[in-house]
Amino acid sequence: MRPFEGIRVIDVTHVLAGPFATYQLAVLGADVIKVEDPDDPDQSRGVGCDKDLNRRKMGTSFLTQASNKRSITLDLKQGKDREILKKLVATADVFVENYRPGAFEALGLGYEALAAINPRLIYASFSAFGQEGPRGTQTAYDHVIQATSGIMAMTGTKDVHPVKLGSPVIDYATGTTGAFALAAALFQRERTGKGQRIDMAMLDVAMILMSSHLTGYLHNGAHPKPHGNSHPHATNSAYTAKDGIVMLGASNLRQQKRLWTVLGRPDMIKKTNDERDADHAREVAALTEIMRTKSAAEWEEFLQARHVPAARVRTMGEALSDPQLLSRGVIHRHAKGAGGERELSVPLAAFTFAHGGPRIDTPPPMLGQHNDQIFAELGETGVPRRRPQRAPRAP
């Protein structure tokens, strides 16, 4: 039995952070029902690397975080559809939305209204800046929060910055943090019997992602500097090898001693970090010359065999073909997607359980695929505009 089997989640979210949070519960057994507007579905359905899938509203951005979910369509601007949603809420444990703060209250679907229907409901709202405060009504995406939070300003090199992180890490971190908050609230409810109101803000998550830098700035007022591929410690930075780039990770004093020993330079070993800081330029010069003598792959093999953290810089394709990653079960392969996609591969989870762990059972749903099934469960019949999306046969 997986942790959230028997838990029903109503997912009225779109794009990334919200859907990614509910996906974490879905792979751990929750019955996640994704609610979308029939005429304005989750925009991630039209986003991805395959234009044909985008046109069929099954874009790879959507496919990434929709396995194990069921899909229904409701136009929440219509009173009848709001009543159907309320019926669904009465059967649910968790309700998640990520629309503009105040939007659901205006529709009569805020926390107070839904908690009156279901006092044990855990109601989570995801937003850019939080439900209250001077910026509460403003909207944003991952890259806008990267700019707002200061994380861009500390990313890049001394000469080239600010730089946006390549992956929408704040969205994914918000989804992961949100899933943790939902799990914590469910655990709390087991003890108290009470529901919960969760307010998730992307800006808050971005600040937590910079925790040590934030503490440092609050201590001395010095803004974090962009270091690029270098680090304040020379033995903990990237260098150009004979072929490719190698990232050294000799971070602490024990590791730097081990590195200089295996490189045949015991004269460079330092006893304190202050000594390392003082000799930084000379260490960089020595390592720059030494690292050019082998390929990045050769350095990785040589140093890892001697317990010195190091890795050659890989592309995503190279990382995905690494036997270590293949052995971890991070990627799940669907034989066929609901929309006709062939050999659909998606990320599963970043951890394993000895038993009852994360698992994908069903492929991402087409828009409105489960209308008939879920409306029948609620005793609803004859609801208009509920036909599921019909995807053309894949070539």
Residue ranges and CATH numbers for the domains of the chain are: 8-209+327-377 (3.40.50.10540), 234-313 (3.30.1540.10)
Given the structure tokens 């062939």, which residue do they identify? 342
Ranges in the chain, pLDDT < 50 = 391-395
Catalytic residue ranges: 171
What is the per-residue pLDDT for 321? Answer: 95
Give whole-number Cα distances, 124 to 21, 22, 180, 232, 347, in Å: 10, 11, 12, 40, 24
Q: What is the pLDDT of residues 265-281, one digit of tens each?
A: 999 999 999 999 999 99
Q: Which among 271, 276, 208 is positioned nearest to 237, based on CA atoms? A: 276
Beta strand 122-127 with 196-201: parallel, antiparallel or unpaired? parallel
- Give the CA count within 13 Å in the CB-facing half-sphere of 179: 23
Structural tokens at position 22: 């509910």
Residue 245, Ramachandran bin (φ over 0: left; ψ between -120 and 50: alpha; else beta): beta
What is the per-residue pLDDT for 356? Answer: 97
What is the per-residue pLDDT for 388? Answer: 53
Q: What is the pLDDT of residues 206-246, one digit of tens each?
A: 999 999 999 999 999 999 999 999 999 999 999 999 999 99
User: Who contacts 203 (Cβ-Cβ below 8 Å, separation ≥6)?
Assistant: 128, 129, 130, 135, 140, 145, 148, 149
What is the per-residue pLDDT for 383? Answer: 58
